[in-house]
A and B are shown apart, each in its own frame.
Chain A
Amino acid sequence: NAGVMQNPRHLVRRRGQEARLRCSPMKGHSHVYWYRQLPEEGLKFMVYLQKENIIDESGMPKERFSAEFPKEGPSILRIQQVVRGDSAAYFCASSWQGTNTEAFFGQGTRLTVV
């Protein structure tokens, strides 16, 4: 049973470009969570999705950031017109139930904006 798969592991983008981060949850998991870790900080919640629905996006910046979890395929975190402050590690977690007590994390995508 493969774990949570995130790709790419490392992503370099120039300022103004778009970044797309992918997350394939564990088999049988229909709940996905995205977290961001800025340098020297803890992980911060961004968004919680269940298949085709955004349940809680209270941690998402209001502009440039969006997330989806289509019926088929991985969850995507999309950052438009990236800025240097978007440089961080982005982690995805998945769970079978809609609580985070049993969530499993992926290895993360490290985004660097140059």
Chain B
Amino acid sequence: DQQVKQNSPSLSVQEGRISILNCDYTNSMFDYFLWYKKYPAEGPTFLISISSIKDKNEDGRFTVFLNKSAKHLSLHIVPSQPGDSAVYFCAALVGGGNKLTFGTGTQLKVEL
């Protein structure tokens, strides 16, 4: 039972353009969402998060949008840079809990 879904296994974007990574969830108890970036042979690195009381959170080139009614969130990266090429994981938490539920990841490739 995949409670957090990332339906696009890969995404290719040109440098300078916007990258949009999507994530859907099924568990309505999730109230905190995070995005992680992962390079090969390394651990996930925290990027940005959002609480369910908000619908947008911005940090530099990264913005996360949350649509609770659709149980959907997205990560926007603008402008995209070659160094952004990595696997991006969406993750969710229930009520300040301790157990992250991850999606399967989207491989982003930013091309010159």
Contacts and interface: CB of A to CB of B under 8 A. Distances in A.
Interface of A: 4, 6, 31, 33, 35, 40-45, 48, 55-56, 58-59, 91, 93, 98-108, 110
Contacts of B98: 31, 33, 48, 55-56, 98-100
Contacts, number: 67
B41 A48 contact: no
B47 to A, nearest CB: 12
Interface of B: 4, 6, 32, 34, 36, 41-46, 49, 89, 91, 93, 96-105
B16 to A, nearest CB: 29
Contacts of B43: 4, 6, 91, 93, 105-108
A43 B44 contact: yes
A101 B44 contact: no
B104 to A, nearest CB: 4
A100 B100 contact: yes
Given A42-B105, A108-B43, A59 B93 contact: no
A100 B93 CA distance: 8
Contacts of A35: 100, 102
Contact of B42 (A59, A93, A108): A108
15 contacts: A33-B98, A35-B100, A42-B102, A43-B89, A43-B102, A45-B99, A58-B99, A59-B99, A91-B43, A99-B96, A100-B97, A101-B34, A103-B46, A105-B43, A105-B45
Given A91-B43, A105-B45, A41 B104 contact: yes
B46 A45 contact: no
Given A42-B105, A48-B98, A100-B97, 15 more contacts: A4-B43, A33-B98, A40-B104, A41-B104, A42-B102, A42-B103, A42-B104, A43-B44, A43-B102, A56-B99, A91-B43, A99-B97, A103-B100, A105-B36, A107-B41
A69 B96 CA distance: 22
